[in-house]
Amino acid sequence: MENDNVNVDTSNDTEDVETVETTEPEFTETEKKLYARAKKAEAELKDLRSKPIIKEVNERETVKPSDILRSEEFKLHRMGYNETEIDLVMNNGGMRVLEDSKSPLVLGLQASREQRKAEEAASMAQDTSGMSELERKYTKADLEKMSTAELEKILPHAN
């Protein structure tokens, strides 16, 4: 078994073999710049991922109660404007807008406020449609104070 029939080719073929050179293709200047930018971005991203994230907390300005009393929004609220009207005034220049009484904004606000006040007054009024004439003229306290003779005069069915 030592001498198995193994054909080993020990001859050197001296055939012409073309040597192939591997050359890198030449890149244009813009391609080189893009490649450099990509590598730089990769490095920055790697650095950012390795650093711990620190959130900066912005210190808010402390607001004094006196500042709130002086603010235009508070003044408008005290004048009777609602939130939407205050936002409208503040988005259009603040209190200066209200100085021109003939501007369309001021006229619209006045009409809106008058309508709102009328609606509030109408909702506050008592509904007297279901009351009798006696109930509209006299309150319960007035009727309790009256004598029986007076009650007989005003009540139609008492006779």
Per residue in 2-53, pLDDT (tens digit) is 555 555 555 555 555 555 555 666 889 999 999 999 999 999 988 888 877 6
Residue 83 is assigned to a structural domain of this protein: yes
The pLDDT, as a whole number, for residue 36 is 93
Residue 108 is assigned to a structural domain of this protein: yes
Q: List the structure tokens of 136.
A: 């509209």
Q: Of 11-25, 60-74, 113-127, 137-151, which gets the smallest average pLDDT?
A: 11-25
Residue 105 is assigned to a structural domain of this protein: yes
What's the mean per-residue pLDDT of the chain? 78
Angstrom distance (rounded) from CA 134 to CA 128: 11
CA-only gyration radius of the chain, Å? 48
Residue 84, domain extent: 72-120
Residue 6 is assigned to a structural domain of this protein: no
The pLDDT, as a whole number, for residue 76 is 87
pTM of the model: 0.39
Angstrom distance (rounded) from CA 88 to CA 140: 47
The total number of structural domains in the chain stands at 1
Closest CA to 109 of 78, 90, 85, 87: 85
Residue 90 is assigned to a structural domain of this protein: yes
In which band, very low, low, confident or very high, does the pLDDT at 139 lie, cut at 50, 70 and 90?
confident
Task: Please check whether residue 89 is in contact with residue 81, taking contact to mean a CB–CB distance below 8 angstroms.
Answer: yes
Counts of helices then strands in the chain (DSSP H, E)? 9, 0
Residue 11 is assigned to a structural domain of this protein: no
Residue 20 is assigned to a structural domain of this protein: no
What contacts 120, CB < 8 A, 6 or more positions away?
A: none
The pLDDT, as a whole number, for residue 133 is 77
Residue 99 is assigned to a structural domain of this protein: yes
